[in-house]
Amino acid sequence: MSNNHIDYYGSFNVDMPSKVEVDGPFYWKAVYVVGEGGFKKSGSLKIVFPPYQHETKREYVQIYDYWSPCFAWAVCDGEKKAVEVTIEKIDTAFLHVKNWPDSNRILRITAKADLKKGERIYINYGGIDRPWIKGAAPATRVGTMSHKTDGTFLKYKVKVDVDGSGRFIELNGFPPVEITPGRAESISIVAPGIVNVGEEFKIRLVVKDRFNNPIFDYHLDDPKLVIRNMKNGKIAGMAHISDNLTYRACIGEEGPYEITIDKDMDLHKEKAAVLCKNVAYKIFWGDLHSHSNLSPNIRDNDGGTDTNSCYEYAKEVSCIDFVCIPEQTFRFDDDPALNITRETWHSIGRFADQNYNPGKFVTFPGFELHSKRGDTVVLFSSSLLNVPYPEKWVGDVSQVWDFYGNSGYMTIPHLHRYCGGRMKKDQQEMKFGGFRFENWDRKNEYTERLVEIFSSQWGRFEDNEHPMLLKARSNVEGNTTTAFLNRGRLWGFTSSSDDHDGRPGYGGITGVYAKALTREDIFSGLYNRRCIASTNPRIIICYFINGHMMGDIVTFDENYSVFRCVEVTVVSPQDIETIEIIRNGEVIYSKSINGMIAETEFKDKDVLDENTYYYVRVKLRNGHMAWASPIWFLRK
């Protein structure tokens, strides 16, 4: 902004900290000095507060409770000239966003009389002081996220309308405030799930604070990583450091292994589990459902979820192998406030291609469609350069199938409360209204091969008997994974973060058995339902029924009298509580476990005369769990 511009519209100066630790106390004081253009009665300043996190259900600024946090007040330096302070909502096309408390993020200061050049408006926010009284109120605190490799910043905006016309000009004034991590409290060890004998592999260490924020510059004082056989307790070797938080290792004998730090330290240590075995298929971990600010819904309440930062978090913090960042839409048109436009489509494809690194990191482009049956992730197997932008008539999952045919992509539903498929997205919060199972009547077994059984955003959608204490609690009866499996859906399992804050892999992740870390091989593993869904721990589940692997379909004629021998092996980085085998939605076998490894076998001797599926559920003693995708026995 030029000096002449500043001279006319005035200047804005702020006293505020440049850095604040997560959940730390925060305040600022600002002075607006009227410029050459004056400041007429009904002229206004607008200060737009940045969100700390998506849908936090918190107030960022308030003007009604003098003694509470987040209080803001303003005065003019002439006692006879008053200003009015009000709160406004951010501009968004999504009514559900407007209903959130954190949409009240605009502080407006309006003059009640004409102000002359040089007169001042003083604005105060937060802190523990109030006018004339020191230490009168609880501290206002910043958010709990500090997760970006290049820093997490709060970015305020200030705008001025000097003549009350409604035309606002943005001023300089607010420097960015960096939110820094807290004290280190835990260290996660991340390693491949399956390695070959003698194969060198990489081990990553991620140090985090109590809010699970990464501390990138943390220096570990010569930690020694030990690789220990879980069966006999023998040490198989030591990992060798290649830089401060990265190690290289290899294992010379088959078996299940834990990797831990052989040193007393104040940090809580989260081990890694590795199965050393010469097999054709490795296991790779990823997140198929996480969003960036290319989604309009997220952009309107954006704490800084730019797309490249999402990919960076997936690689450097979650240390996952693959990711899909599907952006949300109702339709495909030129309305950027609600939908994916052609420009957004090209951006989705460009970012995915730029971050794809075969053998190291796999990306899939895609979108999430809000339609009349609910929300569905559409994941493409290759670059969007090879995929046409949908026509305007594509507004439902069945129309996606009609438009794209039966190859080159998958549709992955998640089963939370009915969203209605309406442009007014406040309808998404309807608990039961409008849900119709007939919207699910049409099937496409070529492309709809998976279902999201868990997400960190919504909870557990296995069945209605045991939803977790998240949003899944208010789900529609029967709109669950086992209910659809019982109605004939042939779905493998995925788990995701459904994160809206730039953190793919934060929470739910999916394990896939695949030959190599490429788009083609990971997509093939997903397509063939060789999937493990986990609430977060990288729990290795190998199970077979009469030699058939998870995701397989076995057909039979009138009945199936051969005993089904279910063989299960579990290798976990944390203590296992139970292993359960589920047949057609009912637990038919449960075994208590004491330790991080388990091998169990169950023979189902019942004669099958109807379609039957089996899957495995593993529960850990700390409450986490994982599911291995079904194996089906179907009548021809």
Strand pairing category for 225-229 and 255-261: antiparallel
**How buried is residue 427: exposed, middle or buried, by Cβ count under 10 Å (0-12/13-18/19+)?**
middle
Q: How high is the pLDDT of residue 1?
A: 42
Query: Which residue, 271, 352, 623, is CA-closest to 466?
Result: 623
pLDDT of residue 13: 95
pLDDT of res. 417: 62
Q: What is the pLDDT of residue 469?
A: 66
Q: What is the pTM of this model?
A: 0.93
Give DSSP secondary structure letters for 473-503.
Answer: GGPPTT-SHHHHHHTT---EEEEE--BSSS-
| pLDDT cut 70: percent of the chain above it | 95
Q: Dump strand ranges (E) for 53-183.
A: 72-76, 83-88, 106-111, 120-126, 152-154, 157-161, 169-171, 177-180
Query: Which runs of consecutive H residues, i.e. helices, occur in 225-382?
Result: 296-299, 307-316, 342-355
Give the integer Cα–Cα distance in Å for 332 and 371: 12
- Dihedral angle computed from the Cα positions of residues 346, 351, 353 and 357, in that order, rounded to the nearest 10 degrees: 180
In sequence order, what are the residues at sequence separation of 6 or more whose Cβ sits closer than 8 angstroms to the Cβ of residue 35? 6, 7, 8, 9, 10, 11, 117, 162
Give the chain's residues under pLDDT 70: 1-6, 417-435, 468-469, 472, 474
Any alpha helices (H) in 381-471, and if so which ranges?
397-404
C-alpha 326/C-alpha 532 separation (Å) is 20
The torsion angles phi and psi of 493, rounded to 5 degrees, stand at: -110, 135
Predicted local distance difference test score (pLDDT) of residue 432: 39
In Å, what is the CA distance from 359 to each residue of 177, 321, 362, 516, 521? 38, 9, 8, 7, 11
In whole angstroms, what is the distance from residue 332 CA to residue 342 CA?
8
456 three-class SS: coil
Residue 542: the pLDDT is 96
pLDDT given at position 197: 94
**In this structure, what token pair is assigned to residue 605?**
């001797």
- Would you state the pLDDT for residue 427? 47
Please report the pLDDT score of residue 431 as a whole number. 41
